[in-house]
Amino acid sequence: MKTPGSGVSPREFRYLTLLTGLFVATLLISNTVSQKPWQIGRFVFPAGSILFPLSYLFGDVLTEVYGYARARQVIWTGFLANGLMAITYRITIGLPQARFWPNDIAFGLVLGQVPRLVVASLVGYLIGEFANSFVLAKMKVWSGGRHLWARIIGSTVVGQFLDTVTFVVVAFAGTWPEKYIVLTGTSLYGFKVLYEIIATPGTYAIVRFLKKREGIDYFDSGTNFFPFLWSTRTNVAE
């Protein structure tokens, strides 16, 4: 059942809560394990890169099936969860160590995220995820719902580019030589886009399954795309 942007009655969805939980878990796990770098030849990546691209897959699925406004809620939920995680890590690291526990230094080294990197990650995430959802939603309206592969890849190319550029500039400008910033950004961006392209058949299958089971195929023809909103309502009264 195709649902235009002009109105979907408030309703319960079977899988929206599950997708939201998996989306947020992907973000939290990625940021936690990103403290460890891994290397292929000359290229070094944060360990979170093996999981983080899935957040864009989830973003594509949420926008394609449920619409931009619901994806916007999930994006903000992920942002708040990441912020809460970072604050909690800093507080727990500063708590007085129990005399019988010898692992306080190791705990701080593993979870002691550098504030600048936290800010870079959060800002890059917001810009990239909203760009990804916006491009996919607009392309769906323009194409009349055809060529899902083009929407997935096109939105990922834009979203991951903005995410990666924002992150490496905010995180490393002024502290790393420019050539290493460019090399890191280029290799990380290429890896994430390739990851999403390889995952496209799986995204197709998930989208088909959800549209059939949820009975919805949302078109954002009347959606307010302003990112700083929480409501799922469109410009037209639902």
Instruction: List the CATH number of the domain containing 137.
Output: 1.10.1760
Question: Which domain, by its residues, includes 124?
Answer: 2-96+103-218
Q: What is the pLDDT of residues 148-175, one digit of tens each?
A: 999 999 999 999 999 999 999 998 899 8
Res. 232: pLDDT tops 90:
no
pLDDT at 195 over 90: yes
Number of domains in the chain: 1
Higher per-residue confidence, 18 vs 42? 18
Q: Is residue 27 within 8 Å of residue 78, measured between CB atoms?
A: yes
User: What's the pLDDT score for residue 109?
Assistant: 87
In a domain, 161, yes or no: yes
pLDDT of residue 5: 47
**pLDDT confidence of residue 10:** 52
| Planar angle of CA 15, 158, 20, nearest 5 degrees | 15
pLDDT for 130 equals 97
Task: State pTM to two decimals.
Answer: 0.90
